[in-house]
Copies of this chain bind each other. A is one copy, B any other.
Amino acid sequence: MLDAIDQALISALMQDSRRSLKALAQISGLSAPSVAERLKRLEERGVISAYTLEIDPKLLGYQLQAIVRIRPLPGKLQEVERQILAIAEFTECDKVTGDDCFIARLQVRSMEQLDNLLDRLNHFAETNTAIIKKSPIKRRLPPLD
């Protein structure tokens, strides 16, 4: 899928996406122009879909994170999806198989705000909320080979 060099590049950029081509060249043992080409290809293929940031929600004032399972009331599936998208505090959402149609992650400043947001959804769906106490794995790559 990915050769050893692509893997090295991706791992290195995953740790710090601002590394220069030169630095990446040293890490991967290639020359800088070769690294540039490989990155371009990885971007074009869509393997690298974005260079982005990791932000600490707590330091933005979002003291509370939760995972909400959402089961729309009959006929309300579309409406529920619209609502989720419209509520900016939902920072991730997956549509899944099973009884729950959506599983979403939510960041809020307080219990009160959590309650408010869920009330809005509860017009169209049943929800089941689990407060996040800790995140043992924040975000990591699966094996690249």
Q: Which residues in A have some Cβ–Cβ distance to B below 8 Å?
A: 1-2, 10, 13-18, 45-57, 59-62, 65-67, 81, 84-85, 88-98, 100, 102-104, 107, 128, 130-144
Q: List 16 A-B contacts (CB under 8 A).
A: A16-B50, A17-B52, A49-B56, A50-B53, A52-B54, A52-B139, A60-B144, A67-B96, A84-B136, A88-B140, A88-B143, A94-B134, A95-B133, A95-B135, A96-B133, A98-B128
Contact B2 A55 (CB under 8 A): no
Q: Which of B2, B13, B67, B135 contacts A53 (CB 8 A)?
A: B13
In the complex with contacts A95-B134, A96-B133, A59-B81 CB distance below 8 A: no
Q: Give the chain B neighbours of A131 by CB distance below 8 A.
A: 96-98
Q: How many copies does the complex hold?
A: 2
A10 CB to closest chain B CB (Å) equals: 7
